[in-house]
Amino acid sequence: MKNSIDEMAEIIKEKEKELYEMKKEYRERRTEGLRSAMEQRKEAEKLVRDEMKALGYSDGFGSNIRWYNF
Protein backbone atom coordinates (compact mmCIF):
# COMPACT_ATOMS: atom_id res chain seq x y z
CA MET A 1 0.00 0.00 0.00
CA LYS A 2 1.47 3.30 -1.06
CA ASN A 3 0.81 6.29 1.16
CA SER A 4 0.61 9.78 -0.17
CA ILE A 5 3.01 12.41 1.13
CA ASP A 6 0.23 14.04 3.17
CA GLU A 7 -0.66 10.72 4.80
CA MET A 8 3.00 10.08 5.59
CA ALA A 9 3.34 13.56 7.10
CA GLU A 10 0.30 12.91 9.29
CA ILE A 11 1.71 9.56 10.43
CA ILE A 12 5.02 11.24 11.28
CA LYS A 13 3.23 13.92 13.32
CA GLU A 14 1.31 11.24 15.24
CA LYS A 15 4.49 9.26 15.94
CA GLU A 16 6.33 12.41 17.05
CA LYS A 17 3.50 13.19 19.45
CA GLU A 18 3.58 9.61 20.75
CA LEU A 19 7.37 9.83 21.17
CA TYR A 20 7.04 13.14 23.04
CA GLU A 21 4.53 11.58 25.45
CA MET A 22 6.75 8.55 26.00
CA LYS A 23 9.78 10.76 26.69
CA LYS A 24 7.73 12.78 29.16
CA GLU A 25 6.63 9.63 30.99
CA TYR A 26 10.21 8.34 30.98
CA ARG A 27 11.51 11.57 32.57
CA GLU A 28 8.77 11.48 35.19
CA ARG A 29 9.51 7.87 36.11
CA ARG A 30 13.27 8.45 36.14
CA THR A 31 13.01 11.42 38.52
CA GLU A 32 10.16 10.06 40.63
CA GLY A 33 12.50 8.84 43.38
CA LEU A 34 14.36 12.14 43.50
CA ARG A 35 11.12 14.14 43.73
CA SER A 36 9.92 11.88 46.51
CA ALA A 37 13.20 12.24 48.42
CA MET A 38 13.13 16.02 48.04
CA GLU A 39 9.57 16.16 49.36
CA GLN A 40 10.48 13.95 52.34
CA ARG A 41 13.48 16.17 53.08
CA LYS A 42 11.27 19.25 52.94
CA GLU A 43 8.82 17.67 55.39
CA ALA A 44 11.66 16.62 57.72
CA GLU A 45 13.13 20.12 57.70
CA LYS A 46 9.71 21.54 58.56
CA LEU A 47 9.41 19.13 61.49
CA VAL A 48 12.87 20.13 62.72
CA ARG A 49 12.00 23.84 62.43
CA ASP A 50 8.75 23.28 64.33
CA GLU A 51 10.55 21.33 67.04
CA MET A 52 13.22 24.01 67.36
CA LYS A 53 10.54 26.69 67.69
CA ALA A 54 8.89 24.59 70.38
CA LEU A 55 12.24 24.47 72.20
CA GLY A 56 12.55 28.25 72.03
CA TYR A 57 15.03 28.64 69.18
CA SER A 58 14.17 31.28 66.61
CA ASP A 59 14.41 30.69 62.90
CA GLY A 60 16.29 33.89 62.17
CA PHE A 61 18.30 32.45 59.29
CA GLY A 62 15.43 31.77 56.92
CA SER A 63 14.26 28.36 55.87
CA ASN A 64 17.68 26.66 55.98
CA ILE A 65 18.88 25.27 59.28
CA ARG A 66 22.61 25.58 59.78
CA TRP A 67 23.65 22.68 61.98
CA TYR A 68 27.11 24.10 62.65
CA ASN A 69 25.51 26.77 64.84
CA PHE A 70 24.73 24.16 67.50
Higher pLDDT, 58 or 19: 19
- With a threshold of 0.75, does the pTM exceed it? no
3-state secondary structure of 47: helix
Task: Note whether 45 and 62 are within 8 A (CB).
Answer: no
Where are the domains positioned within the chain? 5-69
pLDDT band at 1 (very low <50, low <70, confident <90, very high): low
- The Cα 40–Cα 10 span in angstroms is 44
In this predicted structure, the answer to whether residue 50 has a pLDDT above a threshold of 60 is yes
- Over range 31-46, report the average pLDDT: 94
In this predicted structure, the answer to whether residue 70 has a pLDDT above a threshold of 90 is no
Quote the mean pLDDT of the chain.
86
**Distance separating the N- and C-terminal Cα atoms of the chain:** 76
The dihedral built from the CA positions of residue 37, 39, 45 and 48, taken in this order, carries a sign that is: negative
- Over range 5-16, report the average pLDDT: 95
